[in-house]
Amino acid sequence: MVQQKTFWHLLPQRRMPSEYEIVTSKLLLNTGEGFTGKRFELDVPLRRWYEQYQQGSPLACSSWEKFRDPRETTYTKYTEVQMEKEIFVDCILEEIEANGYDSEISARWLQTLSTLVAPFRYPGHALMMIAAYTAQMAPGGRIVVAATFQAGDEARRVERIAYRVRQLQLAFPGFADDSKSLWENDPLWQPLRRFVERLLVTYDWGEAFVALNLVLKPMIDDLFLKHTSDLALGHDDHLLGQIFYSLNEDCQWHRQWSQALIQTAIEDTPTNRQVIQTWISKWYPGALRAVDAFSSLFEGKPGGPGMPPFHNLTSPIVAFSADYLRAMGLQPALSNAAN
């Protein structure tokens, strides 16, 4: 009896498959593309949920096995990459504690941190939950793997911000005690809160993915990791900028694998372009309102040496988002976008 290889399904490639191909192929047992070639064996209530929101999604592909993460992320590779990043951030946080760094923070910047950075723990947790739901509902194993690691990255962002908040609370008792109240009531945060709460009850996996990774996250990541980092430099808080630089590397990969997935979907089924564009048009105005609400915090702040004053926050973020969408042959919003 000839023993079947664990990667028998990859033998038609007529080459030794990579580790990524072996550990990410045909993982799901409920899509018809797993090793059994079947969907659910039993008629359980969960089956109908997947039939409606996974298999019934307008975002369709003849085989989601065609998708490849450009980074070819496996668990081994992910832990290796993240270990280096975590060591980097740990060293920064240790430096803050060792040299009395927080004693030099101005009262003005401390207030901005309390208003802008500390409450992000709440929407950050929501972004993690939405990424995890996308991973749960995705119709292909490689999508599941990428979205799962993205959820891990979002958890990392929340944890690192929470750690930094705690450092500031030890240096300034009472700092950020009102974060939850700001998230729930402050006008700055309400457009973003409305957006993520709607997204948390968007069950179609394709729409949830598009609204999160193509519409909201590119804008929010640019706002909270790049522009807030620049703002920190303008207030001599260079170590926060370095922490956000590391977190932003995670988000760059999120955009890369999302772009690869969209390209796979459109090349396989050209009608997917209109499906995706419709969802972009539906969600884009709300994301734009969420970003624009924070503009006042970035107006007229003094820059550091050689840095001009901050102004017109929304325009560069919109341009960044538009460039990302156009790289996939998509548009920021159609003229008939829903409000």
pLDDT tens profile 192-217: 999 999 999 999 999 999 999 999 99
Nearest to 315 by CA among 299, 331, 339: 299
> d(Cα 215, Cα 324) in Å, to the nearest integer?
10
Q: How far apart, in Å, do the first and last CA atoms of the chain sit?
A: 64
Q: So what's the pLDDT on residue 38?
A: 56
pLDDT in tens, 94-109: 999 999 999 999 999 9
Specify the DSSP class assigned to residue 31. Answer: S
Q: What predicted TM-score, i.e. pTM, was given to this entire model?
A: 0.89
- The mean pLDDT value for 134-146 works out to 95
Classify domain 64-326 by CATH architecture: Orthogonal Bundle (1.10)
> d(Cα 268, Cα 272) in Å, to the nearest integer?
9
Residue whose tokens read 């939850």: 180
Report whether pLDDT(309) > 80.
Answer: no
Domain map (residue ranges) of the chain? 64-326
CA 115 to chain centre: 22
Residue whose tokens read 């808080």: 237
Nearest to 202 by CA among 53, 32, 42, 4: 53
Buried residues in 257-295 as b, exposed as e (16+ CB within 10 A): bbbbbbebbbeeeeebeebbbbbbbbbbbbbbbbbbbbb
Question: What counts of helices (H) and strands (E) characterise the chain?
Answer: 14, 0
